[in-house]
Structure 1
Amino acid sequence: MSEQMDVVEIMKYLPHRYPFLLVDRVLEVEPGKTLKALKNVTMNEPFFQGHFPGYPVMPGVLILEALAQAAGVLSFKSVENQPSADTLYFFAGIDNARFKRQVVPGDQLTLQVEIIAHKRGIWKYKAQALVGDELAAEAELMVAQREAKR
């Protein structure tokens, strides 16, 4: 079963807000399996002022963060029908990160995450960020489910 989500729907699942919300649209989600999303990269991104002046490149750590946010949405969609203000998914680890292509203003990142394992509130994902058909970054991500402390 595939489902699309716009940014308003995504914000129901993620606590992130501007300038740190890095998922613009979910194209497909199969709970318990995979999610495919988009991040539109524009010159208006605040990080381009300093990374790098005259040669704007999206920081690799933010590409990984976008993938982790996509994984967080998939985690929520895999365990419950409605997002919960009492539950958060935290970026818990990263393995085998590789950067293959620079991401620059005007690019559209396709974020693909696939669940590898899920045990006791810890999720492991295979994650890839692509620009068109070109691999920009890949990694194995771990996301931990925790209760929000308010």
Structure 2
Amino acid sequence: MSALDALPHGPEFRFVDSLVELDGGKSARGRYTVRGDEAFLAGHFPGNPVMPGVILVEAIAQLGGVAAQSDPEQAEVEGLLLTGIRGAKILGAAVPGEVLEISAVVEGRLGPMIQVAGEVKVGDRVLATAKVQLAGRTPP
């Protein structure tokens, strides 16, 4: 099973297609290709589809979850969810056909709470940066 298979999201809401690099518990780099057939693009915006900035931040959270849950020295956190977003900046937009390059670094952990910093780029263009908090519950 791939580390991406551990994401709780269904395929329709998964914004990391592949892992480029994974340092379990510390960081990850991944990619997502904006296909153009994603349901949210139909209304954002008709005739000029643009990937919503909030989904760029969601991609950071998903990849951060993969990095955190792959820690060889920590048990997986049950029910891990995105619980906070700080300092998010949407600096650009992605369109169909572009490949997002996502990076996430686990900055800290306190039990089942995890802080992640990340960014999304297309080539040299930074599209989004954010710090996200993930939290769940410690397994019994």
Residue by residue over 1:47-102, the C-alpha shift from the partner in whole angstroms, topping out at 9 and shown as x without a partner, is 111100011000111111111110111111015689x6x82210010101001111
Question: Is the aligned partner of 1:138 residue 2:133?
Answer: no
Residue by residue over 1:20-61, the C-alpha shift from the partner in whole angstroms, topping out at 9 and shown as x without a partner, is 111100110112221001111011111111100011000111
RCO higher in structure (CA 8 A, sep ≥6): 2
- Given candidates 54, 65, 68, the residue that maps to 2:58 is 65
CA contact (8 A) 2:112 2:138 kept: no
Gap runs ≥5 in structure 1:
1-7
How big is the alpha-carbon RMSD for the aligned residues of Structure 1 and Structure 2? 2.1
Indicate the residue corresponding to 1:117 in structure 2. Answer: 108
- Report % sequence identity: 32
Hey, what's the Cα distance between the residues in 2 that align with 1:120 and 1:81?
A: 9
TM-score, structure 1 length as denominator? 0.84
Judging changes above 3 Å, is the alpha-carbon distance between structure 1 residues 11 and 17 closer, same or farther for their aligned structure 2 residues?
farther
TM-score, structure 2 length as denominator? 0.90
| SS at structure 2 position matched to 1:47 | helix
Which residue identity does 2:31 align to in structure 1?
L
Hey, what's the Cα distance between the residues in 2 that align with 1:62 and 1:123?
A: 20
Indicate the residue corresponding to 1:108 in structure 2. Answer: 99
Gap runs ≥5 in structure 2:
none
The ranges of structure 1 where at least 4 consecutive aligned residues each deviate by more than 4 angstroms after the TM superposition are 79-82
